[in-house]
Structure 1
Amino acid sequence: MKQTSFLRYSLAAVFAFAAASCDKDKFLDVNNNPNLPLTVPPTVLLTGAEASTGFVVGNELGRVTELFIQHTAGINNQPRTYDTYQIRGNYDNQWNNELYGGTLINLQQIINATQETSPAYAGAAKILKAYNFALTTDLWGDIPYSQALQGNLDAPNFAPRFDTQQDIYQGNTSLGVQSLFDLVKEGLADLDKTSVLKPGADDLVYQGNLTRWKKFGNTLLLKLANTISKKNPTLATSIINEVLAKGTAALIVDNADDFQVPYGTAVGNQNPFYAYNYVNRPDDQMMSQRFLDSLRVKDDPRLPSFFTTTPANSAATNTSRGIFTGYDNGSTATVPVRANRSRFSTYVIGTSGEAPVRLVTNFQRAFILAESALILKTAGDPQALFQEGIRASMAKAGISATDIAAYFTANPRIVILAGSDQHKLNQIITQKWIAWTGNGYEAYNDFRRTGYPRLALTTNPSSESPTSIPVRLYYPNVEISSNVSNIPTPQPLTNVPVWWDVP
């Protein structure tokens, strides 16, 4: 799947800048192509980097992780093969174009161009850079990091060293590797500096509100700490306590402050899940029957916001929330006709593609702190934070306060933590898994590091991963062939956990 939305965002912006710049350039400078500017201003680059970050999470990598954690099931083409764990040889475009050759290099260009005079841009770019590098290492493990994005057009570095995931998260001074935590902190510090230029309308997410960028950065620190909390609980606890000491005003504590990339209804600007499932490949995936069964048992009011209802049919499931039709992951059964498939609904895709892709959210913050208070014994009441996460997710999905209250009253076994700490953790992560519908990457991280929710193997797993749900992606062919001297040897199989994923 080509990165249509990213190209439209970034190229349209570049061409608009080029057109606006023509009058300022020398009329007869035949050595400069006005349609291919040598430099692009941060106002253009930030717009493209935000749009492409949303596209990364909602495009191919979003689809495969949604399948792995069984929000959806693949019924045709690539999603069907992904659903049986046939993933070798894929994701060249995501690695080479969407990440390293797209979002990440644009963010680095912002940093290079604005660090001295306009650190507000550099700070925002560093925070978003940390998010994108976290996503990359979380999915692949060891990756080019400290030596990536270096060089220039005349002398690019095509063979950067692969840094270990441990060093990427924790830093390694002797190797010159800055930790993701320090990268975010550096970005936060930049936001407080005097800046000639500051983001404004070019900032798709926060429209230049630096206070909200700080909330995003601090909440991102919680996410990163949560990711490594099982591998290095001491560092995770230290980071979380450091963030909590800043007070709730420094965090995303309201759905309105969520870091989410907006989309529109015009072709090319639509939510990538909508573009794929309703425009380009409407017959490739639908709701997982396993997800449907889980929400049916919980009588979850978010179900019709997450997936569409269907007419009654032989494969349908009747629930108190309507009739839905799912498909078992990896099944070879006859696929229901399109009208009888539950597919992503308004919460994920809007009515015509205008729903945002959600990256760092209020409900996520509440669930992280609930888990941290339970397991790491950081400040806060796990029960109150757990319920706060559920309420925030339900409100975000359009459930009224009255209906949320009624659900809590009717379902104490679901909304009240009980049993051992591991049972309580299962409750927290299961609710977080439900809330992350439309962001398979985050749910996949939680599933790998905790083992929750308990997900059964796909029905017909391929020989590539016959006994377990994959816990990482294969390195793309483009990197294997172009960076031979640095690619890890032997290359890890998909059943080899990444560093922070403690068995």
Structure 2
Amino acid sequence: MTATTGCEKFLDINQNPNAFTAESVTPDVVLAQALTNTAAIYSGNTPSYNSYSSWAVGYWSKTNTVSGYGEEQTYNYGTSYYAGLFDNTYDNLNDYNIIQTRGAANYPRHAAIARIMKAYGFLLLVDQYGDIPYTQALQGASNVTPVYDKAQDIYKDLLVQLTGAIADINAAPAGARSVGVEDVVFAGNMTKWKQFANSLKLRILLRESQTGNSAIDSDVRAQLQALQTAPDGFITSDVVVQPGYAQNTGQQNPFFTRYGYTAAGTSATERNYQVPTQFILDQYTTNNDPRVSQLYTMGARVIAGVNTPGYVGAVLGEANPPTTGTATASTRQASRFRGAETTSPGAATAGGIFKGVSAPTPLMLLSEHLFNKAEVETRNLFTGDAKQDFLNGIKASFIYFYRAGTTSLAAINSSTLATTTSATPGVTQYDTYIAANTANPLVNYDIATTNGALGKQAAIIFQKYLALNSVASTEAWDDFRRTGLPRIPLPVTAAQGKFPTRLLYPLSEASTNSGNVPAGVTQYTKIFWDVVD
């Protein structure tokens, strides 16, 4: 979608969409801004789920250009750390609640979309905070001290809500108000919304599929069997938000604006602060993965007095992280994120992580969904071709990272992945990767053992980890806590010598809802699906 006058209003309509309280405001007016805000909270805002998780799961570290980042470096979280995620997500959920409640009668399709997106937002909250306000949430002034519901109970109801949203779409009268350009995700295609709801169900069920609780495991298995035959199937391409991002103040892709360039063409404040970790760089270089040169620039380190080019990262907690300038006898020059190193906002359009000012923001990558399918198939929770979904997940990742930010998604979907040719960016590099790793059990599904450190599940999670890199990092962080994979090295500076398992409730909750905030919660209190030590 290109920016037009109609699209620009979705970005300009209101910096605070939660001011939409007048009864005259209709659901179609609120929808575009609500979806756009979800994308920003997920991917590019200060704070965002993606930035928090990119640090937590070993994608990012810092340079010596900046001080600070103590909590990121030590994993010693406080109540102010990424506290905005809690309140901002609830504000966004309130917009969807307005759409759902006001749209039930005359805007049933808008209301169904809002119902799906409420499940999306509540899932983000549960996975980072555990028990949260749910049944009494979003009631405004009528209840400012909502009770906290159990995370496990919320998970169960999210599936009910997604099923209900699909039923609402199917039951919408033919003459009911249609959804148009205000749907900045699927442009009113309600079949695609049902497919997205089914893919969210799969994400939820997979997340809770290894709790060891017999009742949960039995229910998950039954729900997966029913989901497999869902009439509308699953997503067939990346699910993205595109409200008409353009190189104007307040209208750029939020992720690029935060870590790339401003609309004026000046470097974003945080552009020089984050660099890749040596761990993530090594996962590409040691496995002959061409994506490393698509995602990162070369850095340099001094070897025997010689400034030697290479992929150089930082290590969480290290006392002397690399610079982003020229390496000398006493410093290392870090690799940079390709796309954020260009000289102007419009130049970063050739793919990579940032993609450019007008690139859409992903809500769910096709590669994630395919790896989700591969995992449940490998574990005999689904019937299907796990190997093919595994390979298609890798190929979808290559295509995503090599695809320009301005490329249409229409011709790149799951039904054509197996037959894509070298004319599609990324396919040649994918073929090279597969051919170079016939003896590598992290790439060759056939030789990945069914158990042990290099089992098939480990291979799937490893490839998913690479596919989600810095784009959908929160899903990788959730996977790591669920499975303990991949084996990310813990920095020696980590508090209590272990990874945290959650964010802490923000101080605002302790101040205003202290009677309901769960007691005894620490950053090591696990979410119910996290059973791996």
TM-score, normalised with respect to structure 1: 0.84
Deviation at 1:125, TM superposition (A): 0.5
Deviation at 1:499, TM superposition (A): 0.7
Deviation at 1:352, TM superposition (A): 3.5
1:164 aligned onto 2:150: yes
1:455 aligned onto 2:488: yes
Q: 1:284 to 1:252 in 2, by over 3 A?
A: same
CA distance in structure 1 between the partners assigned to 2:335 and 2:184 by the alignment: 31
Q: What pairs with 1:277-316 in structure 2 (closer than 5 Å)?
A: 277-278=259-260, 279-306=268-295, 308-310=296-298, 312-314=300-302
Deviating more after overlay: 391-400 vs 160-169:
391-400
DSSP 3-state at the match of 2:145: coil
2:475 counterpart letter in structure 1: E
Q: 1:409 to 1:11 in 2, by over 3 A?
A: closer
CA distance in structure 2 between the partners assigned to 1:311 and 1:139 by the alignment: 34
Q: 1:303 to 1:356 in 2, by over 3 A?
A: farther
Deviation at 1:419, TM superposition (A): 1.2
Q: 1:368 to 1:16 in 2, by over 3 A?
A: closer
Deviation at 1:81, TM superposition (A): 3.0
1:275 to 257, 262, 266: 257
CA distance in structure 1 between the partners assigned to 2:283 and 2:83 by the alignment: 34
Aligned to 1:400: 426
Deviation at 1:87, TM superposition (A): 2.4
Counting matched residue pairs gives: 452
Q: 1:90 to 1:296 in 2, by over 3 A?
A: same
Deviation at 1:408, TM superposition (A): 1.3
DSSP 3-state at the match of 2:486: coil
Aligned to 2:12: 12
Q: 1:9 to 1:79 in 2, by over 3 A?
A: farther
Deviation at 1:111, TM superposition (A): 0.3
Q: Cα deviation per residue 1:114-141 (whole Å; 9 max; x = unaligned)?
A: 0112210011011111010000000000
Aligned to 1:27: none
CA distance in structure 2 between the partners assigned to 1:14 and 1:40 by the alignment: 13
Aligned to 1:181: 159
The answer on whether the counterparts of 2:398 and 2:429 sit within 8 Å (CA) in structure 1 is no
DSSP 3-state at the match of 1:358: strand
Deviation at 1:261, TM superposition (A): 2.0
Larger helix percent: 1
Aligned to 2:234: 251
CA distance in structure 2 between the partners assigned to 1:328 and 1:356 by the alignment: 30
The answer on whether the counterparts of 1:274 and 1:349 sit within 8 Å (CA) in structure 2 is no
Aligned to 1:208: 188
1:446 to 472, 476, 479: 479
Aligned to 1:21: none
Q: 1:466 to 1:16 in 2, by over 3 A?
A: closer
The answer on whether the counterparts of 1:10 and 1:47 sit within 8 Å (CA) in structure 2 is yes
The answer on whether the counterparts of 1:79 and 1:284 sit within 8 Å (CA) in structure 2 is no
Q: 1:470 to 1:452 in 2, by over 3 A?
A: same
2:282 counterpart letter in structure 1: D
DSSP 3-state at the match of 2:496: coil
TM-score, normalised with respect to structure 2: 0.79
The answer on whether the counterparts of 1:309 and 1:325 sit within 8 Å (CA) in structure 2 is no
Deviation at 1:180, TM superposition (A): 0.3
2:444 to 393, 416, 428: 416
The answer on whether the counterparts of 2:375 and 2:386 sit within 8 Å (CA) in structure 1 is yes
2:62 to 58, 61, 74: 74
CA distance in structure 2 between the partners assigned to 1:488 and 1:116 by the alignment: 37
Q: Cα deviation per residue 1:400-443 (whole Å; 9 max; x = unaligned)?
A: 32332232122122422211335211111010011001111110
1:45 aligned onto 2:17: no
DSSP 3-state at the match of 1:250: coil
The answer on whether the counterparts of 1:271 and 1:349 sit within 8 Å (CA) in structure 2 is no
CA distance in structure 2 between the partners assigned to 1:10 and 1:479 by the alignment: 31
CA distance in structure 2 between the partners assigned to 1:260 and 1:416 by the alignment: 30
Deviation at 1:393, TM superposition (A): 1.1
CA distance in structure 2 between the partners assigned to 1:15 and 1:448 by the alignment: 34
Aligned to 1:433: 465
CA distance in structure 2 between the partners assigned to 1:156 and 1:342 by the alignment: 52
The answer on whether the counterparts of 1:74 and 1:330 sit within 8 Å (CA) in structure 2 is no
Deviation at 1:361, TM superposition (A): 2.5
Aligned to 2:97: 108
2:316 counterpart letter in structure 1: N
- RMSD, aligned α-carbons: 2.5
Q: What pairs with 1:277-356 in structure 2 (closer than 5 Å)?
A: 277-278=259-260, 279-306=268-295, 308-310=296-298, 312-314=300-302, 323-338=310-325, 340-346=333-339, 347=351, 349-356=353-360
1:73 counterpart letter in structure 2: S
1:372 to 367, 376, 379: 376
Aligned to 1:498: 527
1:472 to 495, 502, 511: 502
CA distance in structure 1 between the partners assigned to 2:123 and 2:528 by the alignment: 13
2:286 counterpart letter in structure 1: V
Q: 1:246 to 1:334 in 2, by over 3 A?
A: closer
Deviation at 1:213, TM superposition (A): 1.0
Deviation at 1:341, TM superposition (A): 3.6
Gaps of 5+ in 2: 1-7, 261-267, 304-308, 327-332, 340-350, 403-424
Deviation at 1:44, TM superposition (A): 2.6
1:474 counterpart letter in structure 2: L
Q: 1:498 to 1:311 in 2, by over 3 A?
A: closer
Q: 1:79 to 1:261 in 2, by over 3 A?
A: farther
The answer on whether the counterparts of 2:62 and 2:321 sit within 8 Å (CA) in structure 1 is no
CA distance in structure 2 between the partners assigned to 1:162 and 1:496 by the alignment: 16
Q: 1:9 to 1:239 in 2, by over 3 A?
A: farther
The answer on whether the counterparts of 2:166 and 2:194 sit within 8 Å (CA) in structure 1 is yes
Q: 1:15 to 1:166 in 2, by over 3 A?
A: closer
CA distance in structure 2 between the partners assigned to 1:458 and 1:273 by the alignment: 27
Q: Cα deviation per residue 1:123-178 (whole Å; 9 max; x = unaligned)?
A: 10111110100000000000001110014xxx3421001001011012xxxxxxxx
Q: Cα deviation per residue 1:45-85 (whole Å; 9 max; x = unaligned)?
A: 11111111111112323212101111111344554532321
1:277 counterpart letter in structure 2: Y
Q: 1:395 to 1:114 in 2, by over 3 A?
A: same
The answer on whether the counterparts of 2:203 and 2:372 sit within 8 Å (CA) in structure 1 is yes
Aligned to 1:54: 39
Aligned to 2:73: 83
2:125 to 122, 129, 136: 136
1:445 counterpart letter in structure 2: D
The answer on whether the counterparts of 1:140 and 1:473 sit within 8 Å (CA) in structure 2 is yes
CA distance in structure 2 between the partners assigned to 1:226 and 1:204 by the alignment: 28
DSSP 3-state at the match of 1:46: helix
Deviation at 1:381, TM superposition (A): 2.6
